[in-house]
Amino acid sequence: MFFGLPLFFLETALGQYTSEGGVTAWRKICPMFEGLGIATQMIVFYLNTYHVVWLAYAIFYLVNCFKSPLPWTSCDNWWNTDSCHSHVSAFANPHMFRPDFNWSFLNNITSSEFFENDSFFSSNETDQDQMAVPEVEFWMNRVLRMSGDMSLGTVHWDLALCLLLAWLICYFCVWKGIRSSGKVVYFTATFPYLLLLLLFFRGVTLPGAATGLGYYLTPDFSRLADPFMWLDAMTNVIYSYALSHGVLTALGSYNRYNNDCYSAVSRCGLVLFSRRDCLVLCGLNSATCIFSGVVVYSVLGFLAEQQGMAVGDVAAAGSSLAFIAFPVVLSLLPAPSFWAVVFFLMFFFLGLDSQFLCVEGLATAITDMFPRHLRRPGAREILVLVMVVVFFLLGLPLVTEGGIVIFYLVDNYGASPIGLLFIACLECVIIAWVYGADRFYDNIEDMIGYPPFPVLKYCWLFITPLLCGVTFLYNLSAIHSINVYGYQPGSWGPKFGAVLIAVPLMCIPLFVLVSLWRNAQNMTTPSSDLRQARPHKPLLTLCKYVIVKSQGPPARTVDDSNEKMRMEEPSGV
């Protein structure tokens, strides 16, 4: 409410007001901070390079879902080691637990002793070596196939083909522009909800689901004193709301000037939603995250019961959750192939949405920087094709024998919350204190026809930048080297990570100097193309005191249509 929503609305309204992408919007609002837009696109560049590798992994697993049995459920494959053992589930294999069933193949080990040790999450390294489960070995030895010294080595051709397929799908989703991608979203954004609903009904009916849900829904208020929890919460909001990426600004730039991007009506103290706007999207996003947690923890509760462990001991995140924990659970269910297809299909579509929005945001930013050349017929298709080819080639090193190390370095440093929090803080400072919170507030009222909730102004002025600044400083102090499956990069790892963090942020002061060299007198003067509804009103007032005086141009009329949308194909959305 005090971080995600104000920033989400700020970035969307900025794009709608300026009709510009993630770079030129800041150039119009405040020329000296054009580098802020460049910084956001550099981070999107990182995301486009490595995020699609998740989709390649999902495609790889999805293809293997059609094999019987599932290749990660047995120890009879070429990638398995001698210490590999398969899971035994009374739920999926009830015949094995009849009184007359012969357990001699376990060499006189009782079922209780087996389940006590049957966990790939065990903290005992000796147990892990002796009791390797096939899901872990499939991920480590079949998918990643890491080299012993973590050198890049050769490219895995099967993963490279999956990467190519992911980029081809992404290209044909966005190549025609926002109209075509808007149509695709109707499917890619709604179909995962159907799959998630299937997994929900399957998950809550599993034995142990109640235990997992109890662990998930029962709050531990002592965690409020843990700063890492707040850092995780801020990080979650940043990525789930796509903040500080310039994507929201790019999408907002395709709105007509008088589009209601806020849509809130206060009645009897309640906020009612009338359209798919910022408030509805933020609420739906958070509700989806909570609902997804219900699905995940119902499944983890089942896994905990199967393995005789506490839910907290089997909880996982990232690749461990998607490519190890869930395959383990799916392999224990009846009809595991069906549920594996459902899960990885949902995983792919969710990732695809994020991916082609990042591509759309970057393509829009580049197009708006060079409109004369890139708004011609056919130019966008060529631009997106060039982008796809470049990002595919940059992604090939990430699917090599040691590519997972580069992958995690870019993930942990290049697209880290450090840069995103700094950008978010600076966005609020520029809009509220440099451009003027009152002026931006009046711009929004002029666009949507009524004033938004007044608290937003004070969020932009104080609350949101304070939250961003405190979390940024704590994150900066808590930065540490990464550990990739037991391998820690040497001194080159942190240095490489520091470069990844610094490159986007260095664009900000660099373009301040460029603006100083170009026109030192108008570094903070917004473009004359921008409509100012109340040009003589102070830019910022607090407690009826004028903080920043008026300096805006006279009011001008504005065409409610959008030139960028007219450049798209004529078919409707």
**What are the pLDDT digits (tens) for 151-199?**
888 999 999 999 999 999 999 988 877 777 777 878 888 888 999 999 9
pLDDT tens digits, residue range 431-444?
999 999 999 999 99
| pLDDT score of 561 | 63
| pLDDT score of 124 | 41
Q: Is the pLDDT of residue 93 over 80?
A: no
| pLDDT score of 114 | 34
Give domain limits for the chain: 4-69+147-522
Q: What percent of the chain has pLDDT over 90?
A: 51
Do 1 and 467 contact (CB within 8 A), yes or no? Answer: no
Mean pLDDT confidence for 113-121: 37
| pLDDT score of 563 | 64
Do 192 and 291 contact (CB within 8 A), yes or no? Answer: no
For 466-498, b/e burial (b = at least 16 CB within 10 A) is ebbbebbeebeeeeeebebeebebeeebbebbe
Confidence of residue 489 (pLDDT cuts 50, 70, 90): confident
Q: Is the pLDDT of residue 118 over 60?
A: no
Q: Is the pLDDT of residue 135 over 70?
A: yes
More confident: 306 or 17? 17
- Cα–Cα dist 423/420, whole Å: 5
| 4-69+147-522 CATH pick, 1.10.3470, 3.30.310, 1.20.1740, 1.20.120 | 1.20.1740
Mean pLDDT, the chain, rounded, equals 84
Q: Judging by DSSP bridges, how do beta strands 264-267 and 540-542 pair with one another? A: unpaired
Q: Is the pLDDT of residue 238 over 50?
A: yes
- Cα–Cα dist 37/29, whole Å: 11
Do 418 and 472 contact (CB within 8 A), yes or no? Answer: yes
Q: Is the pLDDT of residue 421 over 90?
A: yes
| pLDDT score of 479 | 76
Confidence of residue 559 (pLDDT cuts 50, 70, 90): low
| pLDDT score of 521 | 85
| pLDDT score of 91 | 52
More confident: 207 or 479? 207
Q: In angstroms, what is the C-alpha Rg of the chain?
A: 26
* pTM of model > 0.85: yes
Q: Is the pLDDT of residue 556 over 70?
A: no
| pLDDT score of 45 | 97
Token representation of residue 550 = 């008026």
Residues 6+ apart with CB under 8 A from 361: 21, 22, 41, 44, 245, 246, 247, 249, 250, 251
Q: Is the pLDDT of residue 310 over 90?
A: no
Q: Is the pLDDT of residue 308 over 80?
A: yes
Q: Is the pLDDT of residue 321 over 90?
A: no
Return the half-sphere exposure (C-beta side, CA atoms, 13 A cut-off) of residue 72.
29
